[in-house]
Amino acid sequence: MNSIETAACAFREMGCDVLCNEPMKLHTSFKIGGCADLYVTANTKEQLACALDYIKKNDIPLMFVGNGTNMLVSDKGIRGVVLRLGGEFCDISLVDDTTIRCGAGALLVAACRFALEHSLTGLEFAYGIPGSVGGAAFMNAGAYGGETKDVALCCECLTPNGEFITVENKDCDFAYRHSRFSDSGELVTEVTFKLEKGNAEEIKAQMEDIMGRRKDKQPIELPSAGSVFKRPEGYFAGALIQECDLKGCTIGGAQVSTKHSGFIVNIGDATCSDVLDLVAHIQDTVLREKGVQLECEIRAVGDGV
């Protein structure tokens, strides 16, 4: 029995769900990526702590994944363990009249709908962001004038030493598409949101308006990883790309969206290499023609990237 099979057996004995040699294109919004040696889902805090302890003791490469919406996985796949949160980590509950607690594995859209059900306002901006609650905290996800930092009261996380701690908002180092969790090696396991009482009909109308604007302006009908580039100071990345006549530019199966130039879409069997080549072409062209260096917002992960 090789080390991967041994590890798979160990994770199953802990109660985790385990998939071997699992294609990552099945677990990313880009629908791109080679196979992960092990794709492991921890469904309880006990399973998570045990899994991370085993991974650490056996020096197994580890990558955390949320809903796979802001990542580009190598065509060669990912060595070691890809770990996601399921089960109790997807629970959402009411703490008090204006506070909700969300497991990091819960989808943002589910959190928004839960808030609506309880006439709580503040999360509307996140409606339609196709990520997990943990991923939102990790990158301080935001849209339409709101950001995660505006409503996150605190985050529970698991430290590299296996300790569950609570990090208050002021200590999360939230910034544009960044948080302390981006660098600390801590895994967000739960986020508590502080919202306000509102009118359910007004909240619903705002959510529907935001979703309508997304459908009108963004290529949500095609696989992508959202906005490709961070917003450069004083500019909009999509506008710069369009001004350089790159809308519709295609390399392999990757294309600058004809609907929104800030997106790269998978128009059919795109590879990681196709996307990276297109990203580089966009960056080179915009720098040459506009003098602006675009910084990639999507995380490229896996073997060889």
pLDDT for residue 59:
93
For strands 263-266 and 224-227, give the pairing. Answer: antiparallel
CATH number, span 90-214 = 3.30.465.10
- Out of 74, 119, 227, 257, pick the active-site residue: 227
- Fold topology of 219-301: 3.90.78
pLDDT for residue 186:
93
CB 244 within 8 A of CB 290: yes
Name residue, tokens 């980590």: 89
Residues in the chain where the model's pLDDT stays below 50:
1
User: What are the start-end ranges of the H helices in 58-100?
Assistant: none
- Out of 177, 186, 190, 224, pick the active-site residue: 177
pLDDT for residue 162:
87
* Residue 132 annotated to the active site: no
Domain ranges of the chain: 3-85, 90-214, 219-301
CATH of 3-85, one of 3.30.43.10, 3.30.450.40, 3.40.50.10070, 3.40.50.980: 3.30.43.10
* Residue 227 annotated to the active site: yes
pLDDT for residue 2:
67
User: CA torsion, points 284, 286, 292, 296, in degrees to nearest 10?
Assistant: -70
Token pair listed for 173? 């180092």
* Residue 289 annotated to the active site: no
